[in-house]
Chains A and B, each alone.
Chain A
Amino acid sequence: MKRYLALTRGNFQVWLAYRFGFFFTIIGNVIYLGVAYYLWSSIYQHANVIHGMTFNETFIYIALGSAIFILLKTYADWIIGNEIREGIIAVYLTKPLDFQLYALFSSLGGILMNLAAISIPTILILTLVFKIQVTMGLGLILFPFSLMLAFLISFCFDYFVGLSAFYTESIWGISITKEIIITVFSGALLPLQFFPDAVQKILLALPFQAIYHTPLMMVTRPNQGWETFGPMLAVQAFWVLALFILTRLFYNQAIKILRISGG
């Protein structure tokens, strides 16, 4: 375990070397939150509750959604894809490391950096500038755990897209498609409640909602018991397990066609 944590620490330091980028991400995020605030307050002008959600709930959902979006953005798909395409993967394969865990713990370094540099400032801005209020409840306590599972699921998608570089010269198209699918189907852009019932049912059966919808529901509706949150966490855990196994199988298949450039 310690050998992998060294990777997390190392990557945290790498991200630190690029700290100036965070400043701009925070500014961009504040602008986005401002736009979202006015957009949703005008939508809520003539109704207190839309699709069972109040303005406060919706705005917390959207704003925290954007904070999680930035938190999970570790570019793991691009990094892995690049390592495969350029043959740098050969260097890691000569180390006593499992490649999936190597990628996971490296990506975790980016998560910690994002958390400290972007997500926490965003939450501070939310509470100070937009004066949003969160009610205390079980959901709030479970939120960090749910977020951790969400990261693992999100990582699996990144890892999968990265590995696809074994089959294609450029992962650009696949990565963009992944971003769009996750953003729309996970409820990151719009709460799932706003989708038609039939679509909602389908989306709830897919893994994407476990990245955004689940943790965000825990914050927006924290006053519920284990009977609600228990199954939600179980579904997340199920997807973590399933996707870890699937991407592992995909790796075993993909590595067979490995041709590191240069004979």
Chain B
Amino acid sequence: MSLIHIENLGKHFKVLNRREGLGGAVRDLFSGDYRTVKAVDRISFDIEPGEMVGYIGPNGAGKSTTIKMMTGILKPSDGTIQVNGLAPYENRIRQAQIMGVVFGQRTQLWWDLPVIESFKILKEIYKVDQKTFDDHMGMFNELVGLKALYTQQVRTLSLGQRMLCDITASFLHNPQVVFLDEPTIGLDISIKAKIRSVIQELNRKRKTTIILTTHDLGDVEALCKRIIIIDKGKILYDGNVKQVNALFGAYRTLKLQIDDFTESTLEELHGKFDEHFGTGHGITIAEVEENWTDVTIDQARTHLSDVLSLVMTNFSVYDVRIVEISMETVVRQIYDGALG
């Protein structure tokens, strides 16, 4: 039996249509002018025990809302949701015992207390016995060197340290499923890698089911076999991460700030690319904001370095950045039929 079963799940919010200005604010007090927002719109999927699933989408896609329904915080508007055979909202307290949750933007640790005290409180809350607790702490210590942080106040931890503590805390009671909501948000590359390896290790050792929401494709690439992509409350793709990776993993966007940018610069770029790489070079060009031009390259077809040197020799470039493909671009390309 699957651990998580979701069928036609929906969540609607009523949002007040706010009016402008002071007069509008006063009228809003008495207003009944609501519109319904479908944050999650009839989605279905199943997750098996031990799976590590990436649940991704752009901001406001409905990721967190789904997580909040799975953890029993929000009540679904319609459809079915079962975790380990029970409806989370109706059995919140009981279900909490088999779940671990990390909200990237909020900590479950006690802000004013030393790290170890939070773990001791969580030990009592989840009724973890002393031996299991000691074993777990030993293992976490091995994984992340937690001991060095024991006596530090949580408020003094860096974001990355805090996240490592939060993640280990969510595994403390050996839950069947752990939800990680944006665990790498705002972190730099090296600490991201550390967090990924910790998550992987915990999943491997404990066989814990992990659901990871993120808008960083790199997280999913590194950790998950399966990926579910959601946008505007609907599932766009549910399947092997390899297929998505093959399509988008090789993409890089070259952000260029070109001196003396004019209308014709884009055309000139187009011309140069066609001339050098022939048709089918797979390069798309767009002017995203003032002075910045995005050149998206499929590295399977054209080398980034070739494009870069071509641009550098032919244009006077003031600034360059190379970024991985954004979630928004992925979603746009899926809409355009990229995944068939």
Q: For residues 1 through 33 of chain A, which have their beta carbon under 8 Å from a beta carbon of chain B?
A: 2-3, 5-7, 9-10, 13-14, 17-18
Query: Is B339 engaged at the interface, CB distance under 8 Å to the other chain?
Result: no
Report the bound CA distance from A135 to B92 in whole Å: 51
**A88: nearest chain-B partner, CB-CB:** B106
User: 8 Å CB contacts to B: which residues of A89-103?
Assistant: 90-91, 93-98
Asked if B113 and A10 make an inter-chain contact with CB atoms under 8 angstroms apart, the answer reads yes
Point out the residues of chain B lying under 8 angstroms from A17, CB to CB: 112-113, 153
Query: From B105, which residue of chain A is reached at the shortest CB distance?
Result: A262
- Which residues of B have CB within 8 Å of A88? 106
Q: A94–B73 contact, CB under 8 A? A: yes
Q: Known interface pairs A10-B117, A13-B117, A95-B125. Does A263 touch B60 (Cβ–Cβ under 8 Å)?
A: yes
Q: How many whole Å from A241's CB to the nearest CB in chain B?
A: 22
13 contacts between A and B (CB under 8 A): A10-B110, A10-B121, A18-B112, A87-B106, A94-B71, A96-B97, A96-B126, A97-B125, A260-B68, A260-B73, A263-B60, A263-B63, A263-B65
Given A3-B125, A13-B112, list of 19 further CB < 8 A pairs? A6-B121, A6-B124, A10-B113, A10-B118, A18-B112, A87-B106, A91-B106, A93-B96, A94-B72, A94-B99, A96-B94, A96-B126, A98-B93, A260-B74, A262-B64, A263-B60, A263-B61, A263-B64, A263-B65
Residues of the B chain whose Cβ atoms lie less than 8 Å from the Cβ of A2: 124, 127
B108 interface residue per 8 A CB criterion: yes
Say whether A51 faces chain B, with CB atoms less than 8 Å apart.
no
Given contacts A7-B121, A10-B121, contact A93 B71 (CB under 8 A): yes
B13 CB within 8 Å of chain A = yes
Q: In whole angstroms, what is the CA distance A76 to B73 when docked?
A: 22
B273 CB-CB contact with A under 8 Å? no
Interface size class of A (residues with CB under 8 A): 20 to 34
CA distance A141 to B2 in the complex (A): 59
Bound form: Cα–Cα A98–B92 in Å: 9
Q: How far is the CA of A98 from the CA of B60 in the complex (A)?
A: 30
> Is A256 an interface position by the 8 A CB rule?
yes
Chain B residues closer than 8 Å to A6, beta-carbon distance: 120-121, 123-125
Chain A contacts of B124 at CB under 8 A?
A: 2-3, 5-6
- The CA of A258 and the CA of B118, in the complex, are separated in Å by 26
B231-261 with Cβ < 8 A to chain A: none
Q: Given A94-B71, A96-B94, A3–B127 Cβ distance below 8 Å?
A: yes
What's the Cα separation between A191 and B112 when bound, in Å?
A: 39
B229 interfacial contact with A, CB 8 Å = no
* CB-CB nearest in chain B for A6: B124
| B150 on interface, CB distance cutoff 8 Å | no
Residues in A whose Cβ lies below 8 Å from that of B121: 6-7, 9-10
Indicate if A259 sits at the interface (CB-CB under 8 A): yes
Q: Roughly how many angstroms separate A52 CA and B122 CA in the complex, as a whole number?
A: 53
Q: Kindly list chain A residues whose C-beta atoms are within 8 Å of the C-beta of B64.
A: 262-263
B10 within 8 A of A: no
Q: How far, in whole Å, are A9 and B39 apart by their CA atoms in the complex?
A: 39
Tell me the complex Cα distance, A102–B36, Å. 33
Q: Could you say which residues of chain B place their CB within 8 Å of the CB of A98? A: 93
Q: Does B103 contact A (CB under 8 A)?
A: yes
Q: A93 CA to B65 CA in the complex, in Å?
A: 14
Q: How far is the CA of A215 from the CA of B63 in the complex (A)?
A: 52
Contact of B73 among A10, A14, A90, A96 (CB under 8 A): A90
What residues of chain B lie closer than 8 Å to A95, measured between beta carbons? Answer: 96, 108, 125-126
Give chain A residues whose Cβ lies under 8 Å from the Cβ of B118: 10
Neighbouring A residues of B101 by C-beta, 8 Å: 91, 94
Question: Which 8 A-B pairs give the minimum distances between C-beta atoms?
Answer: A6-B124, A96-B96, A94-B101, A10-B121, A17-B112, A14-B112, A93-B73, A6-B121
